[in-house]
A and B are shown apart, each in its own frame.
Chain A
Amino acid sequence: MTRAIDVHDLVKRYGTRTVVDRFSLAVEQGRICGFLGPNGSGKTTTLRMICGLLTPDGGGGTCLGYDLVRDREAIKRRTGYMTQRFGLYEDLTIRENLEFVGRVYELDRLKARVDQSLERLGLATRQRQLAGALSGGWKQRLALAACVLHEPELLLLDEPTAGVDPKARRAFWDEIHAYAADGITVLVSTHYMDEAERCHEIAYIAYGELMARGTAAKIVRSSGLFAFIATGPGADRLAARLRDAPGVSAAAAFGAALHVCGPDRGALEQAIAPFRTDPNIVWQEAEPTLEDIFIHLMGQAHDNAPGA
């Protein structure tokens, strides 16, 4: 398998602040890699470095076999980058936007390609509407269609589904999988755990550093975390009391149930022991969720972060 993205030791500083710190990532062709991490962890900066919008202050690597810094133009031609904020022109119609993008990439058979893209999007009947009139979900799908119009080999999507309803999100992800099936590599940043699970693999970044890497199952298996679920009347109310207890890295209520986890099984059991005496509440050991793991990793990274 060839590597679509192969970057190592990327560093980006703004003034004295290091936003991305020796970040390395390899993604094989045709894979969907979920890019997760808390807000401000450097996801957008990393994506921008990979697609040539930012020059790294250190490190380097290749994207689709092209050098990150030297072959910026070649990378731009073969990559589709979807910005976090809607980047198309709201005062142009849907069709005009697609035609503009097509012309910038000097595409042949422009009309046919745009027609095909509109058909695939299901926006053929609304092509004369202004892009600004679309709902959030449709805007994102239009932005995606614009990204893939020039048939890129790599898609970089920056939180493409933020603020989009579940149905539109599902449609969006179905499309991403269809593109991956065509051999396109996708690096997509997201905050949604269900989306993380739809990725072939995950990269978790916190405070500019890569914290976890692999498939969702592998990350869960190798997390070293233990979790318990408590059910019963009033179980959810224990979250606030357990959250700061020693040995607990996360405690959260899910509906009426309580979810606690921690890296040390003994310490965790000790923490919940006082509440186990309540006969109404049933405690069960469970697999830690991705969310548990990420919240735990975030806490760890925070401890390592200089000056944090």
Chain B
Amino acid sequence: MASGFLARLGAIIVKEVLQLRRDRLTFAMMFGVPIVQLLLFGYAIDADPHRLPTAVIAADQSQITRTVLSALANTGYMRFTHQPASEEEANRLLQQGEVQFVVTIPSDFTRRLIRGERAQILIDADATDPMAAANPLAAAGPAINQALGRDFVGPLAGLRHQADAVELVVQRRYNPEGKSRLNVVPGLLAVILTMTMVMMTALAVTRERERGTMENLLAMPVRPVEVMVGKIVPYIAIGSVQVAVILVVSRLLFDVAIEGSVALLSVGTALFITVNLAIGFTISTLTQNQLQAMQASFFMMLPSILLSGFMFPFRGMPTWAQWLGEALPATHFMRVVRGVMLKGAGFDDIATELAALLAMLLLVSILAVSRYRVTLD
């Protein structure tokens, strides 16, 4: 009977809505989370980043070099932040990710230019993220030649007709062929670990609460830190296996090798896994049931993909979004993995990232232990 069908269907719908309305946190998250994410990502993400930090080694100081540099700055893609004294220092800045580009103007630049010889400008680019490097490099050459055209007056007017008086020598470092996968595969390590590690532990405590085993556990003489560490340790092992699998597959199928030290990468990874597990544990002490814990994990995951520099260039985001990104463990781990795997970064290069992860671990652990109750109060 159609009427009977509708009545029963109605009964189920009414019941579902009532239950949904009662779970306030879930309800709030269903509406709040999309709005927050829409605003956040809509304003934060820029696939064509500007004002990228750039180091300049200008061995030749002249009116012409100043013209060249201001032409580069005027493209809007480069912002001169460092003036390293040596090439080594410049390389270190690039390795540590302090700068995206190093512009080197050789000492004989002006002289050669005036003599009508080919003058070179060197741009070393951190090409681990081909997307971030492509547009600035493409814009650099034309901008320089155009600007110089205006400077070539009087005795230099003859140079004006030379199509490219200045040769731009570009070195795409760490990823010379500009392969996206070199950038994406190590980054995936961070994303996959965030996804699984946070969620697995987020469910750990809420599951005990939902199944009614929590009361029994609390009545026994176990300390909060024992419960927390005990619940986390098995997942560290699982995370380690995941990492091993991802690295082997990266090597075999995607031809992504580890440039730097495997031991260093392992230390960074172990730290990152632990941070994620601690976050998951904290989520599970803050949420009432498994559904809420799942939602909270997802809320954590999307920014880890979108704001961490995984999908879009980190420096393309507005400053506030970069600060937000800095608060995510995935951002720091992304730099560790890309640094070690692609750039062969050493401990000194990634020490600040490791320190940031360690600080997060401490902070989150304190929060988790203080949130976990020995009593049912």
Contacts and interface: CB of A to CB of B under 8 A. Distances in A.
Interface in B17-40: none
B215 interface: yes
Contacts of A72: 374
B220 interface: yes
A51 B218 CA distance: 10
A302 interface: no
A105 interface: yes
Nearest to A87: B216
Q: For the complex, would chain A's binding face be called helix, strand, loop or mixed by DSSP majority?
A: loop
A51 B219 contact: yes
A81 B219 contact: yes
A90 B211 contact: yes
Contacts of A104: 220-222
Contacts of A105: 220-221
Contacts, number: 47
Contacts of B212: 83, 85-87
A64 B215 CA distance: 21
A58 to B, nearest CB: 14
Nearest to A106: B221
Interface in B177-225: 211-213, 215-222
Contact of A54 (B213, B222, B377): B377
Contacts of B221: 73, 76-77, 104-105
A101 interface: yes
Contact of B375 (A54, A81, A86): A54
Contact of B218 (A53, A77, A89): A53
Interface string A50-69: 01111100000000000000
Contacts of A52: 219, 375
A88 interface: yes
A101 B215 contact: no
A83 B220 contact: no
Interface residues of B, number: 15
Interface in A101-116: 101, 104-105
A55 B375 CA distance: 7
Nearest to A156: B219
A213 interface: no
B373 to A, nearest CB: 10
A83 B215 contact: yes
B220 A53 contact: no
Contact of A87 (B213, B374, B377): B213
Given A87-B215, A88-B213, A90-B211, A48 B220 contact: no
B222 to A, nearest CB: 6
A308 B222 CA distance: 40
Nearest to B220: A104
Contacts of B217: 87
Interface of A: 48, 51-55, 72-73, 76-77, 79, 81, 83, 85-90, 101, 104-105
Given A53-B376, A76-B220, A87-B215, 7 more contacts: A48-B376, A52-B219, A53-B375, A72-B374, A81-B219, A83-B216, A87-B219
Nearest 9 Cβ contacts at the A-B interface: A87-B216, A85-B212, A81-B219, A76-B221, A83-B215, A104-B220, A53-B376, A77-B221, A83-B216
27 contacts: A48-B376, A53-B218, A53-B219, A53-B375, A53-B376, A54-B375, A54-B376, A54-B377, A55-B377, A73-B221, A76-B219, A76-B221, A83-B212, A83-B219, A85-B215, A86-B212, A87-B213, A87-B215, A87-B216, A87-B219, A88-B213, A88-B216, A89-B213, A90-B211, A101-B220, A104-B221, A105-B221
